[in-house]
Structure 1
Amino acid sequence: MTTSSTRYADPDANPYVEAPPTDFDPVADLSEDEAAEQAALLRAAVREHDHRYYVAADPLVSDEAYDRLFARLRDLEDAFDLPTEDSPTRRVGGEPLDELETVAHVAPMRSIENDTDAEAVREFDERVRGGLADAAESGDLSAFDPDDLAYVCEPKFDGLSIEVVYEDGAYVCAATRGDGREGDDVTEQVRTIGSVPARLRGDDHPDRLAVRGEVYMPRDAFEAYNEALIERGEEPFANPRNAAAGTLRQLDPAVVAERPLDVFFFDVLAWEAGDGGPERPARHRDALDAFESLGLRRNDRVEIVDDVEAAIDYRDEILAARDDLNYAVDGVVIKVDAQAHREALGSTSRAPRWAFAHKFPPRTATTAVEGVTVQVGRTGRLTPVAELDPVDVGGVTVARATLHNPAEIEALGVNVGDRVRIYRAGDVIPYVPEVVEKRSEGTYAFPDACPVCGAAVERDGPLAFCTGGLGCPAQLERAVEHWARRDALDVEGLGPERVEQLREAGLVESLPDLYDLTAAELAELEGWGETSAANLIAELDATRDPPLDDFLAGLGIPDVGATTARALAAHFETLDALLDADEAALREIDDVGPEVAGSIRAFFDREENRAAIEGLRERGVDPEPFETDAGDGPADALDGLTFVFTGSLSVPRSEAQAHVEAHGASATSSVSGNTDYLVAGESPGRSKRDDADAEGVPVVDEDDFAALLADRGVDWPPTDD
């Protein structure tokens, strides 16, 4: 049993840990002191429940009880404006980011030498023993007894390596491995992962701790997530590693929070004890035990061995068990256990001399291509899939493999009838790396027309797209779902299942058809009642006069998210002005480069898309002209100025951008020669500061920014009125 001193919350002192009450008095009945006291108890309890659920896999309460505790904490924080810096409520995701900044690592994150051959592992062991003997002889190591050498063996996770830093026990930042010296700042994204504690457990922790971990998506969660993507007509991820990497690089932390990521921590990068803090453990095995007591999730398949042959046996055991693991592995890592031995061995510029990865062989097989199916995604992207003579690949029967895109087909020279190699290597979606026997004439001819709607297919580099746009049935369901998203028109009640039901019932064959729906038609469908039907009609009616930026975001224009949609709306002000804009006019917007301008223009030039827009307008869905409300100063006070924001400000960056735009300025996401000021809050990104230095753009902190605005009669921070 974990003692109360190493728990986030003592059940004897905190009523929300074991059998918690979930019937709360109204928030309005509490004083500020009462709210702060209850919130403190709830934060501690929720941290304990998070640890028991995500790390210990031993939950104390039901999901329903947890949800009520979490909701109560969020309500208290919102109602009383309580600080939330390390609160569990931050896990739901913060403000979307403009880009991933580059940050330096606390300590180098080196790669590891690897090989699939057991003989290479034995040679590694010889180098280790020889190196330690030499270090003892030269005095760099006090002594070396070969019998004292031990290795720690761990699964080699096939995910995305990250650095996570804690100071005074609090989560501070996280970064991807990058080039080993610096990586992408993914602090807000990693904050949303349930197994990454916002605070370390207990009071006995180093002043500063940097740990290395691997972000991954569990196999069962990955398969469920891919199924949901396929049901929505979107392209599934090829494998759990791609899913984890693609998710972690999302600019919107709320998106990351919705995806099932997890993490294992497996090494210390930096350990600064401070005054009275625990010293760094002398052995790696003890560091892993410390991780467990600090609340950092470690893997349970770690073993300590005394010789290299046992390490090789461990690799064979994990290889045999790999299909039963709920995470992807591509080998094992063998590490010297003693910290003194590690320091004596040192590292090369690329890799530590005290670690070696014994990799698994790739999974391959050969079979015949019996056909090619072309799938159509939400954006119209066409993906060719090889239909195969079923073959066993590493214990899994494979009947389909992705061919990626037309350029890949041409590079392979593959056609129906050819024998091909299938490469799986733990991937859920196998692919074809080569043709091993040519049995056909020529190469598969990629279709010139969309297999679903018959519209022309256009090539964009290696990719191919259906030009049917909003008129293509394969894209329709995804377009409707996109229209209803919270960051677009925000229509509740239009989830994937209901959109599919409406299309199959013949009620929605184009986006404008949504506004022809009647409550009576909906009430006749299975699973609908008069109330749910009336609610959806009311939701749709409420979107008939949408803000221009929401309307543009809802159309699903390639490369146009909420930020770019707002920039377009602010610049052109009316839909008609935007529809008539050529590429040169579009490129006047700082956030719109040549490719994005071409993508926007191509979208509006397609007959099907123009017809959908006109159909919406005919049904009374006509976006309002974009207007700014200066509120606390002249609307043109900042006219002609362009700002870029980086780091944490006293208000969300999106609010800062909207504030300066309301007073006539432009707010862009990247620094260029047109930028007038880079406003740097706390923990600013290095890349934007470097760009500012290169372009000669002044960098101001928030106080200087407030003074600059005050000189022009504009208040900072923004006021509600």
Structure 2
Amino acid sequence: MADSLSDLEGAADLDPENPYVTDPDLDFRDVDDLGEDEAETQATYLREAVRFHDYRYYVLNDPVIADRAYDRLFERLRELEDAFDLQTPDSPTRRVGGEPLEELGTVEHVVPMLSIGSSGDAEDVRDFDARVRRELDGAAVTYVCEPKFDGLSVELVYVDGRYVRAATRGDGETGEDVTENVRTVESVPQRLRGDHPDVLVVRGEVYIPKDAFQAYNRERVERGDEPFANPRNAAAGTLRQLDPSVTAERPLDCYVYDVLAAWNAPEADEGAGDGTVREAWAAWRADEASVADLLDALSGTVSASGGAHASGIDGLETQWGELGRFPDWGLKTNDRDRHVEDVEAAIDYRDDLREARESLNYDIDGTVLKVNDRAQCEALGTTARHYRWAYAYKFPPRTERTTVTDVVVQVGRTGRLTPVALLEPVQVSGVTVSRASLHNPEELAALGVNVGDEVRVERAGDVIPYVDAVVEKHSEGAYEFPGECPVCGSAVEYDGPVAYCTGGLACDAQLVRAVAYFTDVLGVEGVGESAAEQLVESGLVGTDVADLYDLDVDDLAALDGWGETSAQNLVAELEDARHPPLGDFLAAIGIPEVGPTVAADVAAHFGTLDAVLDADEAEYEAVEGVGPTVAEHVAEFLDNERNRRVIERLREESRLGEPESPEAARAGDELDGETYVFTGSVAGWTRDELHGLVERHGGSATSSVSSNTDYLVVGENPGTAKREAAEEHGVDERDPEAFFDSLAERGIDVESRDDS
């Protein structure tokens, strides 16, 4: 084995007896046949081998085993750790995601993460160079040039070679703590390789490769989920997930490009090194101080201007040297980085990269020039917001002409099948567009569009992107619309130019989306797209949304990632939503084009659900705020036998009380013009009773917080989503006591429910 490893780059740190490096034997003995010592030895070899294979794949781009073999090694390691309780803090298996978080905390950066000046004009770049050379008294200056990634900037922290923290850039001084989410990114090592600093803080960019983005979007669309708008938004949203297991499922990647701080502990007999950091290091090694204490001590000794090193470390005297050291430590860098002699070469680099832009597997919006010499960077310093030693030379905005990379069929809540073009991302009116509607099969055929064609993209009303025309044909014929639903395989039927899946709510895409939408509109916290999908896949919601009201705490608690508390909270939320106002109910059942405002208008006009169900299209059109198109949608939806059955299940089987119009029992107008939202429990009151109390006195009670909300009433054990929305929109929060006091001040008697 030693001979077979000797010629492999990166194998120097491996145990020469490790059997899982080249041509590994994947015929493992059953875990039950292993003793503890044998299992621990095998797990140690597997961790070492998996880290090595990660390095070969992500950093060197030169794997030595097949993906299938790697997957088996990884799975075997997980089996051993689970069976013998052998998990370690830096094991590769931690990449699959940990326990869901209550919220993302914030942390202070070791070194401020500043921004850089930018321009798309070459003369501005030359002015930057002239300013640099002037401030350095005419000294020779060379530059390191890098792609300017369109991702999310992060701080990565390693202590004693182990990954301990990651944070978003935030405001530059503090950022969101995304440690557990970044841990799932396979190109971010859990342990550094080689002769690394004792403390290393680096800056990188988390992004989603373009091919992975297109593949992931296709999966989302085909199962009925909304596709992500562009790779950057997808990466940012993924990195801020509260459930790291969701992050682990998404194809994030990371390039590293800057050392923010590096420090080596001095030898015991040396007097070198800052005493505060030395003491903090000793305390941390003795388990008497936290990593945060150590980083706080380090942050006081380094500068943001570029000389961010508390002790001299070979290779870190220049930006180019840093980029060369990163792979030695197992950190991934970009192969387009270049060291150039002057600003004209930097401008040429940008022009060359612009030509190559479309062939790259990641999004960039320009290039970055950085003064190479770190001592010069230190001399140049910073402004309050910017590094004086770096500048971004940006690309001009893209045109509205782009290429169709795929055509997928999206399944809507009502079963409508919509063809969607997935596109090479393009700027249209200042917005990045990566998908565009093809409307319906008839329009798709008329356009003659197919994968590979170059198309012109416009935005209807400067909002909705759509394919306007094929400007250059690179395929044969138009995309062939499927005869079966891509999610459930049911036959497709047509109503004029519109195609529908005949699977109804038996189609998982429709049911998942219906559950998520229904609960969202009714303000039931704890059910998003992910939870809705889990409820449907588990069979707990197997027929339609009415199954939600049969959910049992024990069944919910048994689901992966759930616990008894979250199960009890959801059941209580659903119980509170059994008797919604008529407007909320009509919005929640998913009538196309009918949101909360239109639904409220319909409810106010008809008063009761029976009156709504008995009306015809002409009567719907007579409602103020309802035009002919919406009236047609309402009539079509409510005439559908399948939808009628769902409504009857919700009502007649007592799973949901008869929705009422808020006008049905008006007692006064003391709260006229005020909108309330409730979160958490209020002793002695159900959510429906609180809504009814507000509405009977002229106010509005809605299920979600918006800019139109006046008050959020916060009871016991409130959810976080409504409070975060209230903070975002500047909504006044009140506790129940203050709420009832304000009612009493207006003469509203709340002593008795009958009198309220």
Question: Which has the higher mean CA deviation after the structures are superposed, 48-57 or 38-47?
Answer: 48-57
| Per-residue deviation, residues 270-316 of structure 1 (Å, max 9, x unmatched) | 11122369716101111111101000000011111111111100000
Task: Write the mapping of 1:25-40 to structure 2, written as runs, cut at 5 A.
Answer: 25-40=29-44
* RMSD across aligned positions (CA): 5.3
Q: What secondary structure does 2:386 align onto?
A: coil
Corresponding residue number in structure 2 for 1:79: 83
Q: What secondary structure does 1:113 align onto?
A: strand
Contact 1:7 1:201 in 2 (8 A): no
Task: Write the mapping of 1:282-321 to structure 2, written as runs, cut at 5 A.
Answer: 282-321=317-356
Corresponding residue number in structure 1 for 2:543: 512
CA distance in 2: counterparts of 1:566 and 1:190, whole angstroms: 28
Deviation of 1:569 after TM superposition, in Å, equals: 3.9
CA distance in 1: counterparts of 2:126 and 2:564, whole angstroms: 55
Among 371, 374, 378, the alignment partner of 1:343 is: 378
Among 151, 158, 161, the alignment partner of 1:166 is: 158
Contact 2:112 2:172 in 1 (8 A): yes
Contact 2:149 2:365 in 1 (8 A): yes
Q: What secondary structure does 1:332 align onto?
A: strand
CA distance in 2: counterparts of 1:90 and 1:578, whole angstroms: 38
| Per-residue deviation, residues 225-252 of structure 1 (Å, max 9, x unmatched) | 1222222232222222122112212221
**1:256 to 2:247 alignment:** yes
Corresponding residue number in structure 1 for 2:275: none
CA distance in 2: counterparts of 1:480 and 1:255, whole angstroms: 19
Question: Which has the higher mean CA deviation after the structures are superposed, 239-248 or 282-291?
Answer: 239-248
Contact 1:512 1:615 in 2 (8 A): no
Unaligned runs of 5+ in 2: 268-310, 403-408, 421-435, 470-496, 517-528, 583-595, 603-608, 610-636, 657-682, 684-714, 728-734, 736-756
Corresponding residue number in structure 2 for 1:265: 256
Q: What secondary structure does 1:318 align onto?
A: helix
Corresponding residue number in structure 2 for 1:243: 234
Task: Write the mapping of 1:565-714 to structure 2, written as runs, cut at 5 A.
Answer: 566-569=567-570, 571=572, 578-580=577-579, 611-612=645-646
Corresponding residue number in structure 2 for 1:57: 61
Contact 1:453 1:472 in 2 (8 A): no
CA distance in 1: counterparts of 2:21 and 2:148, whole angstroms: 35
Deviation of 1:380 after TM superposition, in Å, equals: 10
CA distance in 1: counterparts of 2:214 and 2:349, whole angstroms: 28
Among 488, 498, 501, the alignment partner of 2:535 is: 488
Contact 1:9 1:17 in 2 (8 A): no
User: AA paired with 1:196?
Assistant: V
Corresponding residue number in structure 2 for 1:189: 181
Q: What secondary structure does 2:543 align onto?
A: helix
Corresponding residue number in structure 2 for 1:96: 100
User: AA paired with 1:342?
Assistant: C
CA distance in 2: counterparts of 1:181 and 1:194, whole angstroms: 27
User: AA paired with 1:165?
Assistant: V
Among 543, 547, 555, the alignment partner of 2:552 is: 547
| Per-residue deviation, residues 252-279 of structure 1 (Å, max 9, x unmatched) | 1111111111111011111112236971
CA distance in 1: counterparts of 2:159 and 2:182, whole angstroms: 16
CA distance in 1: counterparts of 2:109 and 2:35, whole angstroms: 44
CA distance in 1: counterparts of 2:205 and 2:129, whole angstroms: 25
Deviation of 1:32 after TM superposition, in Å, equals: 2.3
Q: 1:562 to 1:549 in 2, by over 3 A?
A: same
| Per-residue deviation, residues 540-585 of structure 1 (Å, max 9, x unmatched) | 9xx998634867999xxxxxx999963534646xx666524789xx
Among 293, 303, 313, the alignment partner of 1:279 is: 313
Deviation of 1:55 after TM superposition, in Å, equals: 2.2
Q: 1:513 to 1:379 in 2, by over 3 A?
A: closer
| Per-residue deviation, residues 645-682 of structure 1 (Å, max 9, x unmatched) | xxxxxxxxxxxxxxxxxxxx986665999xxxxxxxxx
Contact 2:197 2:264 in 1 (8 A): yes
User: AA paired with 1:102?
Assistant: T
Among 149, 157, 161, the alignment partner of 1:157 is: 149
Corresponding residue number in structure 1 for 2:664: none
Aligned length: 507
CA distance in 2: counterparts of 1:184 and 1:320, whole angstroms: 35
Q: What secondary structure does 2:51 align onto?
A: helix
| Per-residue deviation, residues 372-411 of structure 1 (Å, max 9, x unmatched) | xx9875599999848899999xx982244455xx8947xx
Q: 1:45 to 1:365 in 2, by over 3 A?
A: closer
Q: What secondary structure does 1:579 align onto?
A: coil
Among 103, 115, 118, the alignment partner of 1:114 is: 118
CA distance in 2: counterparts of 1:379 and 1:188, whole angstroms: 37
User: AA paired with 1:491?
Assistant: S
CA distance in 2: counterparts of 1:297 and 1:341, whole angstroms: 26
**1:357 to 2:392 alignment:** yes
CA distance in 1: counterparts of 2:448 and 2:373, whole angstroms: 46
Deviation of 1:512 after TM superposition, in Å, equals: 1.9
Corresponding residue number in structure 2 for 1:332: 367
Contact 1:155 1:301 in 2 (8 A): yes
Deviation of 1:28 after TM superposition, in Å, equals: 2.3
CA distance in 2: counterparts of 1:327 and 1:266, whole angstroms: 15
Q: What secondary structure does 2:148 align onto?
A: strand
Among 175, 179, 183, the alignment partner of 2:171 is: 179
Deviation of 1:158 after TM superposition, in Å, equals: 0.9
| Per-residue deviation, residues 413-465 of structure 1 (Å, max 9, x unmatched) | x9999x9xxxxxxxxxxxxxxxxxxxxxxxxxxxxxx97789xxxxxxxxxxx
Q: 1:332 to 1:42 in 2, by over 3 A?
A: same
CA distance in 2: counterparts of 1:201 and 1:181, whole angstroms: 29
Contact 2:400 2:456 in 1 (8 A): no
Corresponding residue number in structure 2 for 1:322: 357
| Per-residue deviation, residues 197-245 of structure 1 (Å, max 9, x unmatched) | 000012x111111111111111111111122222223222222212211
Contact 2:536 2:542 in 1 (8 A): no
CA distance in 2: counterparts of 1:293 and 1:611, whole angstroms: 64
Q: What secondary structure does 1:512 align onto?
A: coil
Corresponding residue number in structure 2 for 1:233: 224
CA distance in 2: counterparts of 1:667 and 1:287, whole angstroms: 49
Corresponding residue number in structure 2 for 1:223: 214
Q: What secondary structure does 1:22 align onto?
A: coil
Unaligned runs of 5+ in 1: 134-143, 368-373, 420-449, 455-468, 495-509, 516-539, 555-560, 584-596, 623-639, 641-664, 674-686, 688-694, 696-721
Task: Give the structure with higher Rg (CA).
Answer: 2
The percentage of counterpart residues that share the same residue type is 51
User: AA paired with 2:258?
Assistant: D
CA distance in 1: counterparts of 2:231 and 2:158, whole angstroms: 27
